[in-house]
Amino acid sequence: MLSAERMDAGHQPGVPVVRGLDLTVQPGQVVGLAGPSGSGKTTVARVLGRLLAPLAGSVTVDGYRSPGVRYAVPRASRTAVAMLFQSPRLSVDPRLSLADVVAEPLRVRGTPTAGRRNTAARSRRVAELAEEVGLTGDLLQRRPAEVSDGQLQRACLARALAQQPRYLVCDEMTAMLDASTTAALVGVVRDRVRAGSLGVVAISHDEDLLAVWADSTVHLPAHPPVATTRAAGTAR
């Protein structure tokens, strides 16, 4: 279970953007997070992904609470949560091919002594993930500047799934995509959720999308009050 309890979050000490947030997601479940611009949705995403420390309260991953962020978090806990951001072009190294983008978590996990066998297994896994998200072999050989936003976001989703996370935090992952690509990527994630292998926090300003996608939705207020409050989850 990935959970935030009475969590305050913000980028400046003592200046929370989000106050008293309670949010819980389990594998096999999609929890939406909605709110207008400036309500703190991306800040919450960064805290859940252990890129930013909460100002108060706690974040736990499968019962483990870590006070650190980024590489200060133990690997098992850190890799349990994968992130998918709104802008894929800000999320990848422009020098890499899409195949190399997808393979990043596999290279990190692989052993340096495995040699050709490890490389072949990694290539097969990249091909499997590419097929799952709808990337053809010719696209895998291209660099980010040579593909569309939708194709690049497919590669970013494949990279996130290559991490084998138990939880996926999607921060406006479809905001820059057309309707057909949005439906395709949501479908890929939903299949993983239905299999019970993935829990998702779906962050979006699109209430209609969350109504279809999420099992329940937490709404952040436009201007959080000064006093600590809890953002309540509202089931569909």
Exposure of 191 in the CB half-sphere (CA atoms within 13 A): 8
- What's the pLDDT tens digit per position in 163-183? 999 999 999 999 889 999 999
Q: Are 42 and 203 in contact (CB under 8 A)?
A: yes
- What's the pLDDT tens digit per position in 132-150? 999 999 999 999 999 999 9
Compute the residue count for the chain. 236
- What's the pLDDT tens digit per position in 189-218? 999 999 998 999 999 988 899 999 999 999
SS3 content of the chain, % helix, strand, coil (to 5): 40, 20, 40
pLDDT of 230: 39
pLDDT of 134: 96
Helix ranges (H only) for 60-148 are 75-78, 98-109, 115-133, 137-140
Residue 93 identity (one-letter amino acid):
D
Tell me the mean pLDDT per 10 residues along the chain, length 236: 93 86 96 92 92 91 77 72 94 96 86 61 94 96 96 97 96 92 95 94 92 94 51 40
Q: Are 50 and 81 in contact (CB under 8 A)?
A: yes
Q: What domains can you pick out in the chain, each with its CATH number?
A: 1-80+166-236 (3.40.50.300), 88-164 (no CATH)
Q: Are 20 and 229 in contact (CB under 8 A)?
A: yes
